Structure 1
Amino acid sequence: MKTIRLALLATAAFALPAAPALADHHAEAVAEEAAPKSEHDKLHELFDDSDARGLEINPIGRLFRGDDENAGKLGDFLTDSNFYANRLDTQLNLAKLELIDRSKLDETDQLAYDVFKYTQESGLRGQTDEIRALTEVRPINHFFGFHTFYPDFASGDSAAEFKTLANYEDNLSRHNDYIAISDRAIERSREGMASGVLETSLTIGIVVQ
């Protein structure tokens, strides 16, 4: 019994010093987590976050990077939800950029900061309700529209290659999106006819040719 008691005491003696060490280690971990991020880190985290959000809104972009996640979707283009999601995304990017102190960045990061700010501000100017009323109701011309690239894109010889059965199934799924987008393009064009915002007959004639 005495031997057991001594063993327990010895175990306790060895265990006791470990507690403060454990506490110190935990305190260090908390301190590391609480350490402020550099402006460089904040900027590049914003770039990564912005990129990820953009791909969620417009999943077709993944395929041009060789990423087949959510490859069966083109995106809900020409919808109110897509328009507002893109505008809110741009506004969020600019709001987060304002939280970064440009003066604490090196020259390379300052240039990246300025370019990002310019592209977001430029994008936001094109996302007003007034601009939308003049552009979204003209969804097709001889330069712009899904019809200008989708046949090649869906051929298997572009970004969306046919290597597996899943690739073919994703392509069929994208066809459904393309049909829906085309239907919405017709609806938007009719809205333009009602508001008097139209493409020229010459432009549409070239599209048909």
Structure 2
Amino acid sequence: MKQNVLLLLLMSIFSIYSCKNNSTKVEPNNTDTTHFFSIANFFTSEIKTLETTPYPIYQIISKPNGTKDSSAIDKTLFALLAKQFIACDISDSVQKQAYKEVAFNDNSTKSITLNYSTSKKDLPIQSIDVLFDEETNHVRRVFIRKILNNKDSSTTVLYSWKANMSFTITKSVIKKDGTKYTEQQYVNWNDSN
């Protein structure tokens, strides 16, 4: 249904455009009108909400050796950790040129997903998925995949943010000698799961 409405809207725009008088000279427009969802604004809003709400915040760190450490954290450390998510924003006019946006509806999760991905392997941010609730259009989840290559290792960082509840940062490192390890940091302030 939504696809039909979008198709009808696009056809109407093309019809109106094609009916214009072609004898008028049109100056090229160099202004970038592509709009990417700003994950920085979303994360900043989440941080501000947490600053004004008295949620207890705790973290669980899963270490490569299989042990887990849990501790309470304050809002200052929370904001510092959350800045890693903000730094992944690609919505500015320079960065977004390297990314392609694809939107699709996932009936199994009742969500609309915006996917941003690049074919440029040298860029750290390889993909971002923003899942919106189909009925409310509020962000449910954000997933980010970042790859960092050093001369002696490659690190994949997976960021996952559950709106108004929790986030997870998972780092997987593969060294040139073949050694692998994974470390995960889970931060919770309102997630009952």
TM-score normalised to structure 1 length: 0.23
Return the structure number with greater helix share. Answer: 1
Q: Higher RCO, 1 or 2 (CA under 8 Å, sep at least 6)?
A: 1
Larger radius of gyration: 1
